Amino acid sequence: MIVIKNSRLRRVLRIVIPFVIAPLFVIAGTYLFEPKRQAFVALAIAILACVLFIAGFEHKKTGSRRLIITSIFVALSVIGRFIPFFKPTTALTIIAGVYLGGEAGFLTGAFSALISNFYFGQGPWTPFQMLAWGMIGFFAGVFSKFFIKSRFALIIYGVIAGCVFSVIMDVWTVLWYSGTFSKELFLAAVVAALPHTALYSVSNVIFLFLIARPMGEKLTRIKTKYGV
């Protein structure tokens, strides 16, 4: 449905919109736009970014085996979100990004947010969660060479991902509630979410430490066995 003919333009747009323009918009919006409109702008951008990314996926040649492995990761991270306290969702998104590429990482993150929210509740936060998790998966794919080489780098990325996810969601909470970005409310939200953020980061570290390598081995086996 959304088709941009020039493939180079499409590629550029698909990277630039979600990862450059969208965050810029959110930050600029805090100072430039009238109060209350920022939340709307941010939401519109989040939806746009997800839509662009997902629509772009259509035009790539992707074999059924890769599709299935991606959906297996989505399903695993969805059920991971039901584990109390320590959740492997982000870790799995990162692993998908590292071993299957940025695109699969994005889809794993975004779709596991979307599907699990059918149980945890959909709302305007869904596009933000999709974008936040999707970006975590995407960047894991971008830096995959690093992360395969060094487990330390991967675990550090896990910590950062945990914090970034929390911060993005806090920004959204503040924007949505008060319509405008306010430092006081943001700090309050960050402080309130601190235990969550810590738990996110800790579980990312635990799971990346425990499952990154075995999952990598399993994936490599599957990839060689079935020629993905």
Partner 1 sequence: MEILNAKNLSFTYPDEDTPALSNVTFSVSEGEFVAVCGATGSGKSTLLSLLKREVAPMGKMTGEIFYRSTPTSSMSPRDLAFRIGYVTQRPEQQIVTDKVWHELSFALENMGLPSDEIRRRVAEVACFFGIEDLFDRRTDELSGGQKQLLNLAAVVATYPDILLLDEPTAQLDPIAASDFITMLKKLNSELSMTIIIADHRLEEIIPASDSLLVLGSGHIIAFGKTRAIASSLRSNPHMLTCMPAAVRIYSELANDDDEDKIECPLTVREGRDYILRCFRQDIKMRKMPEYTHKKSEALSFRNVYLRYSRDSEDVLRALSLTVYESELFCIVGGNGSGKTTALLAASGLRKFYAGNIKIFGRDIRSYKNGSLYSGCLVMLPQDVDTLFLCSTVEKELRDAGTDADSLPFKFPKAILDRHPYNISGGEKQLLGLAKLLATHPRLLLLDEPTKGLDAWYKTKIGNVLRSLTASGITVVIVTHDIEFAAAYADRCALFFRGSVVSSDTPQRFFAENSFYTTSAARMVRGIYDGAITADDVIALCRANGQRNENKQSALTGVT
Partner 2 sequence: MKGNETFERNNPASVFVYYICVVAPVMFTMNPVIITLSLVGSVFSSFIGQERIGVRFHIYMLILFAIMTAANPIFYHNGETVLFVMNDNPITLEATIYGTVSAAAVISVLYRSRSFTLYMTSDRLLYLFSILSSKAALILTMALRYAPLYARHARRVADAQRAAGLYKERNMIDDIVGGGRVFSATATWALEYGIVTAASMEARGYGVGRRTRYSPYAFKHADIVLTATSLLLLAVIITAGAGGSFDFTFYPRIVAPPATVLTSAAYTAYGILSFLPAILTVIEVVRWKYLMQKI
Give residues in contact with partner 2 (CB under 8 A). Answer: 1-2, 35-37, 39-40, 43, 51, 54-55, 57-58, 62-65, 67-72, 74-76, 78-80, 82-83, 86, 88, 107, 111-112, 114-115, 117-118, 121-124, 176-179, 182, 184-185, 188, 206, 210-211, 214-215, 218-219, 222, 225-226
Instruction: Please report how close the Cβ of residue 177 comes to partner 2 at its closest, in angstroms.
Output: 6
227 binds, among partner 2, partner 1, none (CB under 5 to 8 A by kind): partner 1
Interaction of residue 217 with partner 1, rule CB under 8 A: yes
Nearest CA to 89 out of 182, 199, 214, 187 is that of 199
Distance, in Å, from the CA atom of 114 to the CA atom of 132, rounded to the nearest integer, reads 12
10 Å CB burial of residue 216 (0-12, 13-18, 19+) is middle
**Total binding residues toward partner 1, as defined by CB under 8 A:** 3
Interaction of residue 195 with partner 1, rule CB under 8 A: no
10 Å CB burial of residue 217 (0-12, 13-18, 19+) is exposed
Interaction of residue 221 with partner 1, rule CB under 8 A: yes
Residue 217: what are its φ and ψ, rounded to 5°? -60, -45
CB 54 within 8 A of CB 107: yes
123 binds, among partner 2, partner 1, none (CB under 5 to 8 A by kind): partner 2
Nearest CA to 174 out of 48, 39, 40, 46 is that of 39
Interface with partner 1 (CB under 8 A):
217, 221, 227
